[in-house]
Amino acid sequence: MEDRVCMHAFVSGKVQGVWFRSFVQQRALELRLTGFVRNLPDGRVEVVAEGPFQQLEQLEAALWEGPPLAKVVSVEVRYNPPTGRFHGFVIRR
């Protein structure tokens, strides 16, 4: 459990209304990460994911890619100690 970390990311660009949250959820589930993704009122997408650092790095790379209709301009990422409070990876409204 000590190899787990928490990634908190904010993704900017054309990331709402382009299936970005579903893309992130699918990728996170493939990587066996827990957490959530949600749209923010300012047009960004927030991602909180917990798991092994190597898988989180893969998710971070996927955030830069996004789904076909997205245009990612920036990804701000912070790594923190894990909370252990997440079960599964969900899309929050």
Which residues make beta-bridge pairs with 89? 35
Q: Of these residues, 39, 80, 85, 93, which one is catalytic? A: 39
Q: Of these residues, 21, 44, 80, 92, which one is catalytic? A: 21
Q: What are phi and psi of 58, to 5 degrees?
A: -65, -40
Whether the Cβ atoms of residue 67 and residue 21 lie closer than 8 Å to each other: no
Active site residue 21: yes
Active site residue 85: no
Catalytically active residues are: 21, 39
